[in-house]
Amino acid sequence: MANQRFSNRFIIVLLVAFIGLVLPSLVSSAVTPGVTGSRAGPTKLANQNHLKVTPGINVNVYDITWQSTATPADIKAFEGTLPGKGITILYPLKSIGGIVVSMTANQLKTIKDASVVLNITKDKGGHSK
């Protein structure tokens, strides 16, 4: 046993570190419906309500980023108001702290001054979770 390349303690620490890095990603994708691979997909909610609008009304996809001072409770409360305004949440942007939504220009005006919103920009795609 004196010839072991790595000690048992080192291997256990390495295994725990690896699990600590991989497990959050596995749990996140299991909890977030519709998210697969490296690109976030639409949620069930988005599939049910996606782009159901009156003809002649332009619907665009926007990225909404959160204020650094916004608490998780504030964000959850804000997200809860969006479906009532006809705004569809497509998927979260965990890497930059925000969400991607589908809405009209008039709907944009109703939420742009919310206290939790840092910025709203037209989505250019290419996001990963």
Q: In whole angstroms, give the CA distance from residue 125 to residue 127.
A: 6
* CATH code assigned to 44-122: 3.30.70.80
Tokens of 16: 């725990």
**pLDDT tens-digit profile of 66-91?**
999 999 999 999 999 999 999 999 99
Amino acid at 29: S
Quick one: pLDDT band at residue 7, thresholds 50, 70, 90?
confident
The whole-number average pLDDT for the span 16-23 is: 76
DSSP helix/strand/coil, 71: coil
- Which one is predicted more confidently, 38 or 77? 77
pTM, two decimal places: 0.54
> Which pLDDT score is estimated for 38?
44
In the predicted model, is pLDDT for residue 8 greater than 50? Answer: yes
Q: Any idea where the domains of the chain sit in the sequence?
A: 44-122
CB contact set of 122 (below 8 Å; sequence gap of 6+): 60, 61, 62, 63
Distances in Å between the alpha carbon of 124 and those of 33, 63, 78, 97? 22, 9, 23, 16
